């Protein structure tokens, strides 16, 4: 099955865009394209196929179209001559699940976890001359391994889907000076009218950092200088706050100084906004943005593609899903048990969508009866904690991300209150929905942890009461299905409730939306997540078909219902 962007993909233009919009440098080299490849049940020692990176081997776009437990990637690359004297960094957007990376036969990195980025300084492994060899050995056993997998399965069906193994995000090179900025932590401070910025650095010497903030028109609004690896205060008054209706972003230029001379410079951006619980007129806790109640309404977005599985065919395709979400009148999107490339969050930041970010879940056998699944073992728990913390750190600068969702319906759930404390300590600036769907399925008993009580009811909507100090939300509802002939994945279709035509789907969406509006009015619900944005494989309860070629319900009617719900829930 193709999408409107499938035919735009080729060896010379496989995701050519700069992959890290919140830490930019002008010089870089993309290593996407055709690589040598081999795979199988055992670890291969030589490559005899070709694969298009960064599309996972299971995908049509990769050219392989199968799952391999063990994968071997190989390619040669050249270091540009004008990088002489610089350190050379090798970056991977994501490799699922365990990657061993070597350059010219020298191991430079070992990374476990399929959803977060990692890097290696390969300078000392480079050899004289322009030709260098890069080899990546990967192991991915889907749900048979001890890593978070989300909905990836060896035998997909129902609400579980095809796995996406190996390299599935951009691979790239970057030259940096010996003393350089490794990352930025930009914390918005709405009461203080500005930002707190910490530039993390590498290399010898006690250096200083200069940060300059400019508005969209290029006008400088703040400047500060101070010690590296220490917070800098950057007031930008009068501040312009980021919101879905006004996704205003400030641009940052950050320089690393040795004495007064710059030795490194990076670009970034940030939005000035705050996230908190706000009491309504009846004293009930509600979700708030910038100190005011804002009802958060959006689709469940699983981020699967028929041609690339976990990897969107193009950057335009990645952006298009978010543009459709805005077009339909939503202000929120729940990224469901999957992590996207950095550019997806970049587009959410720029288009103005609030993001609820799920942590990919540990494996669970959904064929078992609730309560019969054994708890995850020590190794799986350790991987989950590490990846959750890496995810928080990786996305901490994105203004669109407002809620962390560590567990969904009890899949691989453990130590619920302790995980809430772990996430809170890592990021006290966002809200925590510790157990989405705590009322159902495999969820452990409600601990009362986090900021949100999350109900899943199909078709629903649910009508949870606001109790205690947490906001109450419909974390999943809907699931209205329509099978559009000519746009279906092979196999038997399924949905929570089937309709027979676009007109019937539009009518039923309106009925469910009116019931949701009543629940918002009567119960003080703070948010609602509709299942779902697109069909995924045999699940046909998407507003869009899996190939993104058909928007099923009438868009104007759907938008009117969504805006009415948001307005009702936003006093």
Q: What is the DSSP string of 305-374?
A: BTTTBTS-SSHHHHHHHHHHHHHTT--EEEE-S----HHHHHHHHHHT-EEEEEPPPPP--TTSPTT-SP
Q: What are phi and psi of 315, to 5 degrees?
A: -65, -35
Instruction: Tell me what pLDDT residue 204 has.
Output: 86
Evaluated on CA atoms 26, 32, 35, 38, the torsion sign reads positive
Please report, to the nearest 10 degrees, the dihedral formed by the alpha carbons of residues 140, 143, 147, 149 taken in order: 90
Instruction: Assign 166 to helix, strand or coil.
Output: strand
14-18 long-range contacts, Cβ below 8 Å, gap at least 24? Answer: 14/52, 14/53, 14/54, 14/55, 15/54, 15/170, 15/311, 15/314, 15/315, 17/315, 17/343
Domains belonging to the chain, first-starting first, are: 1-177+291-463 (2.60.120.260), 191-270 (2.60.40.10)
Q: Round to whole Å and give the CA distance between 141 and 127.
A: 34
Contact 16, 314 (CB under 8 A): no
- Residue with token string 């959803």: 115
Instruction: Tell me what pLDDT residue 205 has.
Output: 81
CB contact set of 218 (below 8 Å; sequence gap of 6+): none
Instruction: Tell me what pLDDT residue 467 has.
Output: 81
Instruction: Give the residue ranges of the chain where pLDDT is below 50.
Output: none
Instruction: Tell me what pLDDT residue 237 has.
Output: 84
Contact 329, 353 (CB under 8 A): no
Contact 521, 528 (CB under 8 A): no
146: number of CA atoms within 13 Å, CB side?
Answer: 12
């Amino acid at each position: 099955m193709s999408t409107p962007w499938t035919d735009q993909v080729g060896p010379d233009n496989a995701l050519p865009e700069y992959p890290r919009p919140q830490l930019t440098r002008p010089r870089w080299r993309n290593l996407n394209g055709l690589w040598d490849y081999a795979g199988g049940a055992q670890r291969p020692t030589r490559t005899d196929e070709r694969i298009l990176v960064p599309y996972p081997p299971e995908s049509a776009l990769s050219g392989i179209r199968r799952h391999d437990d063990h994968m071997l990637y190989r390619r040669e690359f050249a270091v540009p001559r004008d990088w002489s004297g610089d350190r050379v960094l090798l970056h991977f957007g994501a490799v699922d699940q365990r990657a061993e990376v070597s350059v010219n036969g020298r191991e430079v990195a070992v990374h476990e976890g399929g959803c977060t980025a990692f890097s290696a300084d390969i300078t000392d492994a480079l050899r004289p001359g322009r030709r260098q060899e890069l080899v990546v050995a990967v192991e991915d056993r889907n749900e048979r391994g001890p890593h978070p997998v989300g909905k990836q399965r060896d035998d997909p069906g129902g609400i579980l889907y095809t796995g996406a193994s190996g390299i599935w995000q951009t691979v790239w090179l970057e030259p940096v000076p010996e003393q350089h900025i490794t990352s930025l932590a930009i914390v918005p401070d709405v009461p203080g009218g500005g930002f707190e910025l910490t530039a993390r650095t590498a290399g010898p010497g006690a250096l200083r950092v200069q940060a300059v903030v400019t508005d969209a028109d290029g006008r400088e609004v703040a400047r500060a200088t101070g010690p590296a690896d220490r917070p800098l205060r950057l007031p930008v008054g009068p501040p312009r706050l980021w919101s879905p209706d006004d996704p205003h972003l400030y641009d940052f230029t950050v320089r690393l100084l040795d004495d007064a001379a710059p030795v490194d410079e990076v670009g970034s951006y940030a939005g000035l906004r705050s996230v908190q619980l706000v009491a309504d007129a009846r004293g009930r806790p509600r979700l708030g943005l910038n100190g005011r109640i804002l009802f958060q309404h959006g689709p469940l977005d699983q981020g699967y593609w028929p041609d690339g599985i976990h990897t969107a065919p193009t950057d335009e395709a990645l952006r298009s899903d978010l543009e459709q979400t805005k077009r339909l009148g939503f202000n929120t999107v729940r990224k469901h048990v999957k992590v996207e490339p950095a550019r997806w969050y970049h587009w959410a930041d720029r288009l103005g969508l609030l993001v609820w970010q799920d942590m990919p879940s540990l494996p669970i056998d959904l064929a078992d009866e609730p309560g019969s699944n054994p708890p995850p073992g020590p190794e799986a728990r350790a991987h989950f904690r590490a990846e959750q913390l890496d995810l928080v750190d990786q996305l901490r600068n994105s203004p669109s991300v407002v809620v962390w969702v560590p567990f969904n319906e009890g899949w691989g759930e453990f130590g619920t209150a302790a995980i809430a404390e772990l996430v809170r300590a890592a990021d006290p600036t966002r809200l925590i929905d510790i157990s989405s769907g705590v009322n159902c399925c495999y969820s452990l008993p409600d601990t009362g942890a986090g900021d949100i009580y999350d109900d899943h009811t199909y078709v629903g909507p649910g009508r949870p009461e606001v109790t205690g100090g947490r906001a109450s939300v419909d974390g999943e509802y809907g699931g209205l299905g329509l099978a559009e002939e000519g746009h279906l994945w092979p196999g038997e279709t399924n949905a929570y409730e089937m309709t027979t035509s676009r007109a019937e789907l539009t009518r039923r969406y309106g009925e469910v939306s009116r019931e949701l509006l009543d629940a918002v009015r009567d119960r003080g619900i703070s948010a609602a997540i509709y299942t779902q944005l697109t069909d995924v494989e045999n699940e046909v309860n998407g507003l869009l078909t899996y190939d993104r070629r058909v928007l099923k319900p009438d868009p104007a009617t759907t938008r009117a219902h969504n805006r009415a719900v948001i307005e009702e829930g936003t006093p």
